[in-house]
Amino acid sequence: MSDLFKKALSLGLGVTVVSKEKVEKAVNDLVKRGELAPSESRALVDRLMDRGAEEQGQIKDWVRQQVQKALTELDVPTRATVDQLQQRITVLEQRLAEKEQDQPKPPLA
């Protein structure tokens, strides 16, 4: 594996947390040192940014899965379950209010 390829791969893995400006600076440094042709620099920046975006998506998916797994293991109710329970509470409160209206009120002392 060529040294340039290793550097590009290493840079690509770091793109998930690096801005485009930093990637461009690193690629420009490779061009200045003669390790990369100027005509290839834009394509390399684009490939590295694409790879970084892909890795970010994969990391987000993995984190989302881990959080969901932890919430399931802790038996934390889902938003849908909480919404259903809230609807049931609202219905029960309405029924209770109706029953209270139907009952005669005790005389004031």
User: What whole-number distance in Å separates Cα of residue 72 and Cα of residue 83?
Assistant: 17
Does this model's pTM top 0.75? My answer is no
* Max CA pair span of the chain: 99
pLDDT tens digits along 41-53: 889 888 888 887 8
Instruction: Report domain extents, the chain.
Output: 3-76
Tell me what pLDDT residue 95 has.
96
Q: Identify which of 70, 68, 19 has the alpha carbon closest to the alpha carbon of residue 48.
A: 19
pLDDT tens digits along 51-99: 878 887 888 888 888 888 999 999 999 999 999 999 999 999 999 999 9
Residue 55, class by beta-carbon neighbours within 10 Å (0-12 exposed, 13-18 middle, 19+ buried)? Answer: middle
More confident call, 16 vs 49: 49
